[in-house]
Structure 1
């Protein structure tokens, strides 16, 4: 290992990122652009490295949530088009314009306020339509018509795209999804002959309805090898390759007597003489206390976390004494055993999106390419 000095790390398989992009590209209509969604530091995987892998595999654009994320990519040398999908303060639009970053126009009022700051700049816009998500976006056709007129009469704005977001595209029941899609079609009539990028498809829509995606898709969770939901796994047309794994090591081992207690609150009592290993990962790393009692992998076998997970460490019960430095896998595979992101999410009663996002950047990321370490990113050094 290199560039970090602790025995915990995450591995990001960039070959899997590329494969997931290439697989989607094959099922989309020709000339459909893929916008790789790398917000939240690429869902906890690493924004620059994932962006480069996705672009190499055929993506042509990137999408993020906030202006800061787009600027971070620009500072790291990324030159392809980037869309900020979230709200940007009108007073910051010149910064976006200077860095050739596209912004989301989500109301007539935002356009009016943003226009006041664009005295000597032009900024590219993607208009967001709220077809039923209830988040950002123009909901009424009257406001849409007025907003388009405002853009047409103000040279500081360049309309580049239009989009919406589906609330239930990852659910079996498609009634609400179809209602949103039909509403989007109705509103799209105002964009005829404008020659803009039209994107409504997130991962779920891209995978399930590839012929209804217009000329661009936004590829998010499934680019990382994770299904948008477990409800539609059987509808995914190719095998997703999970890119994120999480590992640590045994740094201390001891044999405790029957009846002895482990960790805060003394909630765990040894039922017999037991081998207990200490592993240097805890809730400050994102391996939260609610995961106490779940399994990890050691030498290809499942072993339980015992006692409460601490801020920086946790303890595991071993069947036998293990050498110091023995690898512990929290997410990933050893021999014929696998602990997936979905398994961890189920344990936490949440969605798989949340799991890699919650692993803090105190945990170094090791980027793998062709089976070898390509790069290590340690945010602390």
Structure 2
């Protein structure tokens, strides 16, 4: 499927934009009025769709967007997004003029980067900068007051550069033990206080800190995982003071149904053998779609009942043991709700022995994304999508 057009396979993901909107609204109500929301839409909005999520988050009250790389920011600009966009990761210093061209805010994370970037600056347009302070995450960022002062001075010497913000990132804000979080927060407060002047935006909170720690709000928070309706961690789940709604679901359809007799085998390695007569269905999704081989044995939903994946998951297909004969064309839900049954992203993450962040991110781009509003699949350009019925 190309951008909400027709597609020719029976596997797709659905993203409920009403859930995104409600999650952003819930966070906004939770925050003091003066605290801005920076919606994190990096990695194709955690696999949900960059421009669709960006537009929805902005409409719900976010005032800024954040991405990982400048390519992602430029892609949003080319799709018509004109809101402020911050690049959280490292940008090549020689690309600073592209940031000016597209009005993209860059992260300064060391004085050497800034010195090199200034050498390449040829544009007459200004570039907004946020200083990243490494308070203990250990990725990128300024680690001393001395370097912070040097960066502040270097920015001040160039009229085309504007210090717009400063931020840090917490490593353990989603953990019950708050000691390391407190250590990071205190160091960040010290670094901010050391700046000769406070920039327009000061932000430190990710979703977990925005939910749990008002003392870390400053005047902006970065909302990522909670915007998508997923918990920052299972251990802090009970601390979320408002409902968050999962926006992502994954579906397929039965393309083949067969009856096996006792002793028949299924898939590579013949690892599954039927113990009696049973119905087996094939669905067109596999590890090339991000439905990884480790999900063998995971249950899916068919006709409102849980059915296990049997045999090894193939590149493009996998097989499920049906509770009874079910006709070809029946919808199979791999993530999401069907009748009174629900398979959460957290359930899939647990089976994969990973975190929920990873699950929608690894569902490949060849899986079409469909968008829902008001419970209906919509074409964001042409209202209802008439050539598809879920």
TM-score (norm 2): 0.95
Residue matched to 1:61: 64
The alpha carbon displacement at 1:320 in A equals 1.2
The 5-angstrom pairing of residues 336-375 of structure 1 reads: 336-375=340-379
**Residue of 190, 193, 197 corresponding to 2:194:** 190
Asked if the contact 2:14–2:371 (Cα under 8 Å) also holds between the matched residues in 1, the reply is: yes
Q: Per-residue displacement from partner, 1:85-112 (whole Å, max 9, x unpaired)?
A: 0000001110011100000000000000
Q: Secondary structure at the match of 2:249?
A: strand
Residue matched to 2:45: 42
Question: d(CA) in 2 for partners of 1:194 and 1:212?
Answer: 16
- Structure 2 regions of 5+ residues with no counterpart? 382-390
Q: Per-residue displacement from partner, 1:130-180 (whole Å, max 9, x unpaired)?
A: 000000100011111111111111222100100000000000000000000
Residue matched to 2:259: 255
- Structure 1 regions of 5+ residues with no counterpart? none
**Residue of 73, 79, 86 corresponding to 1:76:** 79
**Residue of 30, 33, 36 corresponding to 1:27:** 30
Question: d(CA) in 2 for partners of 1:297 and 1:335?
Answer: 9
Residue matched to 1:282: 286
Residue matched to 1:210: 214
2:115 aligned with 1:112:
yes
The alpha carbon displacement at 1:375 in A equals 2.5
Question: d(CA) in 2 for partners of 1:375 and 1:343?
Answer: 30
Q: Per-residue displacement from partner, 1:212-244 (whole Å, max 9, x unpaired)?
A: 301100000000000100010011110110000
Residue matched to 1:86: 89
2:230 aligned with 1:237:
no
**Residue of 120, 130, 135 corresponding to 1:131:** 135
Q: Secondary structure at the match of 2:135?
A: coil
How many residue pairs were aligned? 377
The alpha carbon displacement at 1:211 in A equals 4.5
**Residue of 169, 172, 177 corresponding to 1:173:** 177
Question: d(CA) in 1 for partners of 2:79 and 2:49?
Answer: 12
Question: d(CA) in 1 for partners of 2:195 and 2:31?
Answer: 23
Asked if the contact 2:300–2:334 (Cα under 8 Å) also holds between the matched residues in 1, the reply is: yes
Asked if the contact 1:366–1:376 (Cα under 8 Å) also holds between the matched residues in 2, the reply is: no
The alpha carbon displacement at 1:191 in A equals 3.2
The alpha carbon displacement at 1:376 in A equals 7.8
Asked if the contact 2:149–2:195 (Cα under 8 Å) also holds between the matched residues in 1, the reply is: no
**Residue of 156, 163, 179 corresponding to 1:159:** 163
Which piece of structure 1 moves more, 169-178 or 314-323?
314-323
Q: Secondary structure at the match of 2:246?
A: coil
